[in-house]
Structure 1
C-alpha cells in the first residue's frame, strides 16, 4: 500500500471493489458526456480483472475509510522498445476528492508498475476539451502525442470486416 499525504492510500483492485468501480465508470462516462454509450457490467469487469486469464489490472485509492478513485490499465507492447508498457484505460476520482493528491497517487501506482517490471511507457488518452486533466498530466511529465491520429473500427464495420472469410484457411 502506498500513502500520499496523510489520508490517501492506493492498493491493487480486489474483487469486492468491482461493483463500486463499475458505478464510477458509469459516473465517468456521464462526466465525459457519453453516459448512454457505457454498457459495462459487474460481471464483465469481474471477469476481465479476476477471470481465468485476466486481461485488465487496476488500483484503487482510499480515503476516509472508503474508495474514492480508481485506475484500470492493461499491457500494451512496443516493437520499437521491445518491451511492454501500461495503457491507462480509465481513471476516476470522486469530485470531492479531486485536487487532494488522489489522481497523482493513481498515476504513481501505474508508473511504479512500469518501473518495477522494466516497461518503457505509460500511455493514456485525454479528451481534447478536458483542459484540467491535460494540465494535470502535463505537470506529471506527460507529453501529447499529437502527431498521431487515433482510429477506431467498431459496430457494423467491425462485424463486416471480421466476418470476412479472406485469409482464412
Structure 2
C-alpha cells in the first residue's frame, strides 16, 4: 500500500468539502457553514490563510489535512497548526493517518517548525487513542477561549 500526500488543487475543493462535512458530522458539529467558495478564497487563493493536502492511498483520495502556520510567543519559533485531519472510514486502521501525520511532521520540520498543535474532540476515544500512540500530549495548563460575533 502506497501512502502519500499531495498538495490539493482548486479542482479538489468539492472533494475536500464533502470530506470536511463527513468530518464535521462525525465530530458532532451541529452546523457546518464552510462552502466551496470559502475553500477557494482561503486555501486556493494567491494569499492563502491555510493549506490543504490530500492523503492518497495507491493514488486514490483517502482523506485530507488542512494546516496553517503560527508563531510561538515564548520560543520565538515558527509552528504548524493542524486545522483538520480526515481519513475516510474505509482507509482507517491501516496506518494511513499515522503515515500522513509522519509526512506532515517532516514538512513542518523542513519548514523550521518546532512543533505541531491541533484541537481534538474530547469524547472521541478512537481518535484520542491514536493521538496518544503518536506521542502527542494534552496541554493540561491550557484551555480554549473564543470570542464570537461581528
Shift of 1:7: 3.0
Q: Counterparts of 2:95 and 2:40 in 1: how far apart (Å)?
A: 27
Deviations 1:81-116 (A, max 9, x none): 111111111111100100112111221222112210
Q: Which residue does 1:79 correspond to in 2?
A: 73
Residue 127 of structure 2: aligned partner: 133
Question: What's the counterpart of residue 28 of structure 2?
Answer: 33
Counterpart check, 1:17 vs 2:31: no
CA distance in 2, matches of 1:75, 1:108: 17
Normalised TM-score (structure 1):
0.83
Q: How big is the alpha-carbon RMSD for the aligned residues of Structure 1 and Structure 2?
A: 1.3
CA contact (8 A) 1:60 1:106 kept: no
Correspondent of 2:106 among 90, 101, 112 = 112
Q: Using the alignment, how far apart are the partners of 1:106 and 1:12 within structure 2?
A: 12
- Per the alignment, in what secondary structure is the counterpart of residue 47 of structure 2? coil
TM-score by length of 2: 0.93
Aligned residue among 82, 97, 108 for 1:88: 82
Name which of 26, 35, 43 aligns with 2:37.
43
Deviation at 1:147, TM superposition (A): 1.3
Name the CA distance, whole Å, in 2 between partners of 1:111 and 1:65: 21
Q: Distance in 2 between matches of 1:7 and 1:118?
A: 27
Higher relative contact order (CA 8 A, sep 6+): 2
Identify, as 1 or 2, the structure richer in helix: 1
Are the aligned partners of 1:13 and 1:60 in contact in 2 as well (CA < 8 Å)?
Answer: yes
CA contact 2:3–2:100 (8 Å) conserved in 1: no
Task: Note if contact 2:55-2:100 (Cα within 8 Å) is conserved in structure 1.
Answer: yes
The size of the alignment, in residue pairs, is: 150
Deviation at 1:8, TM superposition (A): 2.2
Q: Which has the larger radius of gyration?
A: 1
Equivalent residue, structure 2, for 1:167: none
